[in-house]
Structure formats: C-alpha cells, structure tokens
Amino acid sequence: MLVERIVPTSAAAALRQRATALPPIVLDSRETANLELIACGAATPLTGFLRSTDYLNVLERMRLTDGTIWPIPMTLAVDAAVARRRCRPTLRPMPARGRCSTRAAVSGA
C-alpha cells in the first residue's frame, strides 16, 4: 500500500495559511526531488525525510529502525537551531509538477 502524502484540495487552503507562520527551509534540487517522491508515495514506506536514527540505520544496515529494507538515505539538511525547534517548517521552493506536486505536500515526520 502506498503512503501518499498529498493534501486533499479541501484542506490545501488552510494548510497554506498555517504555513505562513512557520519558518521556511529552502530545498535544493535533490531535496525537492525526494519530497516529490515522498509526497506521491513513490518512497513508501516513508512518510517524511529520515530522522537521525533511521538515517544511521540506513547507512549502516540498509534498513529503517523498524527493520524495513530501505537503501536510500532521504534527508533534509537543516542547521542545528532548526533541528532543535522540532517544528514542521515550510519547505520551499515548491514547484508544481503534475500529480506529485509539492505545492500541496505535507512536510515529513
């Protein structure tokens, strides 16, 4: 079963409004591509970028901490101050690319 993170149209406006109060993080091209894969379910079972424990397990064992085989370290580069806030930032840029558009994607974990 695919883990799709696309926001329903009915909820998109409220989430866009909420995002205006969140700190922005600018994504590079790799992070944008990974976000699109997560959003449309192509990165199932992931529901967001890897947290540090999953990241280390993927590097060392090619598995998530729950034991699921996962060989690709999909990460979001943030500085220590952003990581300590533990909030869901607004991810930018958000280019529209068809069905798997990051415009309406929920940011991860």
Position 93 scores a pLDDT of 59
The verdict on domain 24-104 having CATH code 3.10.400.10 is yes
pLDDT band at 73 (very low <50, low <70, confident <90, very high): very high
Average pLDDT of span 24-46:
90
Cβ–Cβ < 8 Å for 64, 70: yes
Residue 97 clears pLDDT 80, i.e. is over it: no
CA 93 – CA 88 distance, rounded (Å) = 15
Residue 95 has pLDDT above 60, yes or no: no
Query: For position 16, what pLDDT does the model report?
Result: 87
- Asked which of 3-17, 39-53, 76-90 is least confident by mean pLDDT, the reply is 76-90
Strands (E), 2-109: 24-26, 90-92
Residues 43 and 37: beta-carbon distance below 8 Å? yes
Both tokens assigned to 78: 């943030």
Partner residues linked to 25 by β-bridges: 91
Provide the residue type at 76 as one letter: L
For the chain, the domains span 24-104
* Predicted local distance difference test score (pLDDT) of residue 84: 73
